[in-house]
Chains A and B, each alone.
Chain A
Amino acid sequence: SAVISQKPSRDICQRGTSLTIQCQVDSQVTMMFWYRQQPGQSLTLIATANQGSEATYESGFVIDKFPISRPNLTFSTLTVSNMSPEDSSIYLCIAKMGAEQFFGPGTRLTVL
């Protein structure tokens, strides 16, 4: 199994600023994903974090707004850039190891 931690667990940010969220896994995983859960909605995939190369973004999400890094098999970051209140959401890191999926605790972001 894998245990995932995310930092920060929550933050309140001002409009126009950026926040970087870290996702750390305690073992090597094949794939890491970043999801967003907006208030009252389901989880939407932002992108797949690829080790050593650019992330693969889903429709509606772009690298300039959500730059992602994955320098190794256990760590990834998601930056929410130039934030607006519409970015207020829970951001969730999910790791895949074999057929199993493991969830981070999420980062609750509020943008004022």
Chain B
Amino acid sequence: AQSVSQHNHHVILSEAASLELGCNYSYGGTVNLFWYVQYPGQHLQLLLKYFSGDPLVKGIKGFEAEFIKSKFSFNLRKPSVQWSDTAEYFCAVLDQTGANNLFFGTGTRLTVIP
């Protein structure tokens, strides 16, 4: 079965700092990769996704992620965070040849200090 690791449980940054959240997955086959964000009191929203093609994916709100197949990684980045980016971020993997359901990481809580 798939597993997804997010090693940063809680990240605290000042506004304008750069962000990188790690995500590693276990499966070596063809996967679809996702980052979701959950703002306080709200439900999950899709930030960006990778299916194929250019491994550098740009999403909403200035976020981007890079798929590095050799490292089984899909790290999320943003050059300059804002207070409104305070949220929980979840990495998820869809195994295209398996059960077709999403496997989620444990999440990373981001706190941005004004």
Contacts and interface: CB of A to CB of B under 8 A. Distances in A.
Given A99-B32, A101-B94, A103-B44, A42 B105 contact: yes
A3 B42 CA distance: 16
A32 to B, nearest CB: 10
**Dominant SS among interface residues on chain B:** loop
Interface in B21-64: 32, 34, 43-44, 51
Q: Determine the interface band of chain B, counting residues with CB < 8 A from chain A.
A: 10 to 19
A48 interface: yes
A41 interface: yes
Contacts of B102: 33, 43, 45, 94, 101
Given A33-B101, A96-B100, A41 B43 contact: no
Q: Binding site of A, secondary structure by majority: helix, strand, loop or mixed?
A: strand
A106 B41 CA distance: 11
A106 B43 contact: yes
B82 interface: no
Contacts of B32: 99
Report the contact-size class of chain A (Cβ under 8 Å from the partner): 10 to 19
Contacts of B104: 42-44
A31 interface: yes
A42 B104 CA distance: 7
A31 B100 CA distance: 8
A62 B43 CA distance: 26
Interface of A: 31, 33, 41-45, 48, 56, 92, 94, 96, 99, 101, 103-106
Given A41-B107, A96-B101, A103-B43, 12 more contacts: A33-B101, A42-B106, A42-B107, A43-B44, A43-B102, A43-B104, A45-B101, A94-B102, A96-B100, A99-B32, A101-B94, A104-B43
Interface of B: 32, 34, 43-44, 51, 90, 94, 99-107
20 contacts: A31-B101, A41-B107, A42-B104, A42-B106, A42-B107, A43-B90, A43-B102, A44-B104, A45-B102, A45-B103, A48-B99, A48-B101, A92-B43, A94-B101, A94-B102, A96-B101, A101-B94, A101-B102, A103-B44, A106-B43
